């Protein structure tokens, strides 16, 4: 999956929020939001997959992926606008999705900072805010 937009050299702390707005194209297969602790370690890989209507979440430490967690909540629809708010602390990452759905994923790295954020795949970004 190619990165559409990468935000390097960030300093995101617990409680701060990343808000991503955009549209899922009608032919979308999947997209991903990645929150990096550093250039190689990923706190959260959030990957909605439309072919199976499942959200796959994972993390990566020292180049090794952890066990995938699959979420049965699937609030995304092809061809619709959406908004995703992401925040984290040392215990977990919380994503709030337009329509009131919430997805939580453990902060397996137990870190208190993020340095990079990316959006990949089938997602037409209209805005990204850091709050």
Q: Which domains does the chain have, with CATH numbers?
A: 3-130 (2.60.120.200)
Please give the structure tokens belonging to residue 84.
């995703």
Give me the pLDDT at residue 114, please: 97
Where the chain has pLDDT below 50, the residues are: none
CA angle at residue 70 from 120 to 74, to 5 degrees? 70
Give per-residue pLDDT as tens, 94-119: 999 988 899 999 999 999 999 999 99
Instruction: Specify the pTM.
Output: 0.94
Give me the pLDDT at residue 1, please: 63
Give me the pLDDT at residue 3, please: 61
Please give the structure tokens belonging to residue 5.
């937009």
Give me the pLDDT at residue 62, please: 94
Please give the structure tokens belonging to residue 56.
């796959």
Burial of residue 46 (CB within 10 Å: 0-12, 13-18, 19+) is buried
């Amino acid at each position: 999956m190619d990165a559409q937009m990468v935000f390097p050299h960030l300093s995101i702390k617990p409680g701060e929020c990343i808000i991503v707005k955009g549209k899922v194209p009608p032919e979308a297969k999947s997209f991903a939001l990645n929150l990096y602790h550093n250039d190689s370690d990923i706190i959260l890989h959030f990957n909605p997959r439309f072919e199976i209507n499942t959200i796959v979440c994972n993390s990566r430490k020292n180049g090794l992926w952890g066990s995938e967690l699959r979420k049965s909540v699937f609030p995304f629809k092809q061809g619709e606008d959406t908004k995703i708010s992401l925040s984290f602390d040392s215990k977990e990452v919380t994503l709030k999705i337009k329509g009131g759905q919430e997805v939580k994923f453990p902060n397996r790295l137990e870190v208190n900072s993020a340095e990079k954020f990316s959006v990949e795949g089938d997602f037409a970004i209209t805005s990204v805010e850091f709050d």
